[in-house]
Structure 1
Amino acid sequence: MKSSKNKHKNVFFTLLLMALIPTALMAQTATGFGLKGGLNYNGNGDYFESIGANAQHPDRNVGYHVGVFGKIGNKVYFRPELVYSSTKSDYNDDSFKMQKLDLPLLVGIKVLGPLSVFGGPSLQYILDTEFDGITINDVENDVSVGLNFGIGLNMNRFGIDLRYERGFNNNEATFLGGSSRLDTRPEQLILSLSLIL
């Protein structure tokens, strides 16, 4: 009788361990927190120097970004990020500079080995804007929504990804008494390196 009880206990603990060990291993590989940074190749929207003037299209420039991210899941994962971005666009002899905080909320899926695809909305909060030395305070919306999608390659704790970002809605800045206006909506290619801590 006693050995039968011990046998049932052993079976119970064996089954419990079989259930807990994969869960613990999965939790270690599926969840992470890390740092990221990289380069942006970006342009903003059109610039209208005065009412009725023809649009000036931006020349693209290289900017940079740094931030943090979390990752939950393995084969299919959720990856929220908080990123500081600095961008610059040239319009003839003038430059438009913008600093913003981005909060991409990405869902990804592994498609082949370490390769994954991802996408999702990105909330954007404009911290500061400057056009040809003039600080622009009158931006239509400090908070706007964009879209991120791209591909990533993850090797152990290191990752690299290339993504495209586009703002959804027009978000104009007006200055010089409202006669000049500039679309602050970003459009950029973003190359990032990341490290899970």
Structure 2
Amino acid sequence: MKTSTLLLFILSLCCSFSAAAQDEPKLTIGAKAGINFYSLSSDALIVDDDTGLSYEFGVYGRIGERLFVQPELNFVSHKTHLITRIQTRAGERDALTVRYLRIPVMLGYRTDYDGKIASRIRFMAGPSISYAVGVADNNLGIKRNDIHNAQFALNGGVGFEVWLLHLDLLYHHYFTALLNDGRAEGKGRAFSISAGVGF
């Protein structure tokens, strides 16, 4: 029931922004690439973990000028270094790298600010769904089928333009546990920095 209510709210929000964006029907198509810093929230199955650095890239479409809707398709790699209670080699730390296809829909507001270096500041937030497509070999005994297929997140942050580049600084807060073990509680937290160009 809670999930259907949340989906209904997100759908109505998207429709509201789409209607607002129709007053300014500008369409921008772009591509971007960047890095992300990923970690997990506390989990009884994880003895220790730290933040990992990885990459992401993708394409986006931005509909609207001041108010905008921005759907994206991203390929994302998240990495963290873990020691778990369920791994085959007890006490050994190793990197866990999971690759995803992520589809966010960002709803945003763009200002008219025009500075000497940065301009057109954007504030944006929106939901995303990430589908796990692969797990890199590791010594933790974690394979693709140990990861939740679909992971939901809320994303938000700021963006601005520097010369020809569109820079985005975003925070990604996942609501789905990374591991599909029924005891797992650890959910992803990530900061990303990306640069792109739009046409």
TM-score relative to the length of structure 2? 0.71
Structure 1 residue 159: deviation in Å? 0.3
Indicate the residue corresponding to 1:62 in structure 2: 53
Alignment match of 1:160 (pick from 151, 160, 167): 167
Question: Highest CA radius of gyration, 1 or 2?
Answer: 1
Pairs within 5 Å for 1:1-197: 27=25, 30-46=26-42, 48=44, 55-92=46-83, 93-113=93-113, 114-130=120-136, 131-132=138-139, 134=141, 136-139=143-146, 141-155=148-162, 157-174=164-181, 185-197=187-199
Deviation readout 1:42-94 (Å, 9 max, x if unpaired): 11344555xxxxx4242001100011000100000000010001111012422
**Structure 1 unmatched runs, 5+:** 1-25, 50-54
Distance 1:33 1:112 in 2: 20
What RMSD in Å do the two structures reach over aligned CA positions? 2.4
Residue pair 2:148, 2:177 contacting (<8 A) in 1 also = no
Residue pair 2:73, 2:101 contacting (<8 A) in 1 also = yes
Residue identity matched to 2:105 = L
**Structure 2 unmatched runs, 5+:** 1-23, 84-92, 114-119
3-state SS of paired residue (1:138): helix
Residue identity matched to 1:116 = R
Change (3 A) 1:182 1:37: farther
Aligned residues: 160
Structure 1 residue 143: deviation in Å? 1.2
3-state SS of paired residue (1:141): coil
Residue pair 2:100, 2:133 contacting (<8 A) in 1 also = yes
Could you list the structure 1 runs, at least 4 aligned residues long, displaced by more than 6 angstroms after superposition: none
Residue pair 1:47, 1:57 contacting (<8 A) in 2 also = no
Deviation readout 1:79-112 (Å, 9 max, x if unpaired): 0010001111012422211000110100010135
Change (3 A) 1:166 1:80: same
Distance 2:75 2:55 in 1: 9
Identity of aligned residues (%): 22
Change (3 A) 1:36 1:159: same
